[in-house]
Amino acid sequence: MTIEYLKKAAKNPATGEDETRRIVADMLAEIEAGGEAGAEAFGEKLDGFSGDIVVGAEAIQAAADKVPEQLKDDLKFAYDRVRGFAEKQRQSIGEFEAELSPGLWAGQKLIPIDTAGCYVPGGRYAHVASAIMSITTAKVAGVENVIACSAPSAEHGGPHPAILYTMNLCGADHILALGGVQGIAAMAFGLFTGHKANILVGPGNRFVAEAKRMLFGRVGIDLFAGPTEILVIADAGADPEVVAFDLVGQAEHGPDSPAWLVTTSRELAEKTMARMQDLIDALPEVQRNAADAAWRDYGEVVLCDTDEEAARVSDEYAPEHLEVQTGNLDWYVNRLKNYGSLFVGEETTVAFGDKCSGTNHILPTKGAGHYTGGLSVHKFIKVVTTQRATREANRDVAAVTARISRLEGMEGHARTGDVRLDKYFPDESFQLQP
C-alpha cells in the first residue's frame, strides 16, 4: 500500500486516557459511597445547579411553553423518522421455535430490558437529537422504565427547555437534572428513581464515555460513544468546498473530535485543506475554538494511489461516521466493512443522520466499528433461547450428551443424560463412553 499523509494528527483518540480514568474512577467511588447526596454535590460543583434533581410534570410543561412551534414541528419530524426506522428494525427480528431433529425443539424469545438509562448531552450544545435517538429507540424496543438525564444550568433552572420537551415527547419515564459522570452514576446506581439501569446508552464527552466503560459488567452499555469522528473518502470529482464544510461540521463537536480525509486526488486534498481554516474561522466563537483545536490536533489527510488503498485505510480507521463522495459509489458501498454509519454520495451528510433522517446517531468510536454497529432496538432486547424435547428425543440427545461430557471430563453432566436414559428406556442399553 502506498499512502502519503499530507496532514498527520498530533494526537489520537486515546490521548489523555490515563488522567480521564483516574478522575472518573474517583468520582464513581465517591458517588456510590455518598448516594444521592454525592451525586447532587457533584452536580452543584460542576454545573452550578442546586435545584430539584428529579424533573416533575410542572417543570416539563414550563419547558414546553418556551419551545417555539416551529421547533416542535421539527422535533416531531425527526422523532417520526427515528421511530419509523426503529420500528423497521424491531420488525426485522422475531421469536421462533424450530424442530431441529425429531422431538427436539429449540427457539428464541425476545425480552426487552427492564430499565434503560439514556444520557443526553446538554453542556456545550443542547443535543435534542440525542434524546430522540436513545429514548425513542428504547421505547420502540419495549423498555418499561426509561430514565433520561441531562446537564442542568443556572440559566435555565434545569436542563435546556428543548431537551426537556424532547425527552417528554419521546416517552421518558423519569428525567434527572444531572450531567456528566454524576448523571451516569445516578442511573447506574438507581439514585432518585429507585430503578437501577440495566443498560446505559447515549453519547458524551470523554468522562461520560469512561464512566460507561468502567461500569460495564455491572450494567450493559450501548458502545464506546466517545468524541465524534468523521472520515470522508473523496476522489477528483468531489467538491472540495462540500468536503471541507462536512469536515468542519463534525470538528465543531469538540477539541478532541477527529476529522479525517482519505482521497485519491492530491488536488482535491490541497483545495480542501486550503479551505479548512477559513471555514473554521467563520464559525461562532465556541464552535470556532472547538473546531480549530480538533483540526489542528486530530485532523488528518491521507493521499492514496487507488480506491482499494483508500478503502483499506478507511477500514483501518473504522470511523464513526463515513462519507463517500466518489464517482463509483456502489463499489465503495460493497467494499467498505468497518464504520458506524455510512453516508453515500454528496447528497447526504453526517448532519442529516445526526439530526433527523432516521438512522441512529449513537455510533461506535475509537475503532469500535471493527466489531459493532451503532445503537438500535436490538441493544434494548435480550435474545434468549428456549428448548424442549420429547422423551423419544432423549434416545439420541442424552446419549450424545453423555459421551461428549465424559470426553471433556465432566462426569456430573454425563450422568444427567444417563438418568434420563435409565428412566425413559429401562430395557435398552446405550453406549455412554466416548
Tens digits of residue pLDDT in 161-213: 999 999 999 999 999 999 999 999 999 999 999 999 999 999 888 899 899 99
Residues 332 and 275 both lie in one domain: yes
Q: Which residue has the cell 461516521?
A: 321
Directed axis angle between helix 206-215 and helix 17-47, to 10°? 110
Q: Which residue has the cell 441531562?
A: 150
Residues 202 and 327 both lie in one domain: no
pLDDT at 13 over 80: no
With H, G, I as helix, E, B as strand and everything else as coil, classify residue 38: helix
Residue 4 lies in a domain: no
Among positive and negative, which fits the CA dihedral 331, 90, 76, 177?
A: negative
d(CA 262, CA 276): 15
Residues 310 and 297 both lie in one domain: yes
Residues 114 and 189 both lie in one domain: yes
pLDDT at 15 over 70: no
- The pairing of strands 104-112 and 341-344 is unpaired
Residues 201 and 80 both lie in one domain: yes
pLDDT at 223: 84
Q: Which residue has the cell 430539584?
A: 52
d(CA 312, CA 294): 24
d(CA 145, CA 147): 6
Q: What DSSP string runs through 63-74?
A: HHHHS-HHHHHH
- State the average pLDDT over residues 61-89: 96
Q: Which residue has the cell 410534570?
A: 57
Residues 232 and 215 both lie in one domain: no
Residue 77 lies in a domain: yes
Residues 208 and 137 both lie in one domain: yes
Residue 407 lies in a domain: yes
Residues 175 and 263 both lie in one domain: no
Cα-Cα-Cα-Cα torsion 75, 80, 84, 86, nearest 10 degrees, comes to 30
Residue 87 lies in a domain: yes
Residue 270 lies in a domain: yes
Q: Which residues are catalytic?
A: 320-321
- Residue 149 · residue 160 · CB < 8 Å: no
Read off the pTM. 0.90
Residues 349 and 428 both lie in one domain: no
pLDDT at 25 over 70: yes
pLDDT at 204: 84
d(CA 5, CA 303): 6
Residue 215 lies in a domain: yes
The CATH number for 330's domain is 3.40.50.1980
Q: In 2-46, which ranges are E strands?
A: 3-7
Residue 9 lies in a domain: no
Number of domains in the chain: 3
Residues 82 and 98 both lie in one domain: yes
With H, G, I as helix, E, B as strand and everything else as coil, classify residue 263: strand
Residues 80-135 have pLDDT tens digits of: 999 999 999 999 999 999 999 999 999 999 999 999 999 999 866 688 999 999 99
H or E element at residue 342: strand 341-344
Residues 60 and 143 both lie in one domain: yes
Which of 334-343 are b and which e, b meaning 16 or more Cβ less than 10 Å from the residue's Cβ?
Answer: ebbebbbbbb
The torsion region of residue 217 among left (phi > 0), alpha (psi -120 to 50) and beta comes to left
pLDDT at 403 over 70: yes
d(CA 314, CA 262): 7
pLDDT above 90 covers what percent of the chain? 90
Beta bridge partners of 175: 148
Residue 12 lies in a domain: no
Q: What DSSP string runs through 270-310?
A: HHHHHHHHHHHHTS-HHHHHHHHHHHHHH-EEEEESSHHHH
d(CA 41, CA 339): 39
What domain range is 281 assigned to? Answer: 227-367
How far is Cα of residue 236 from the mean position of the Cα atoms in its chain? 33
pLDDT at 125: 67
Residues 55 and 201 both lie in one domain: yes
Rounded to whole angstroms, the maximal C-alpha distance in the chain is 88
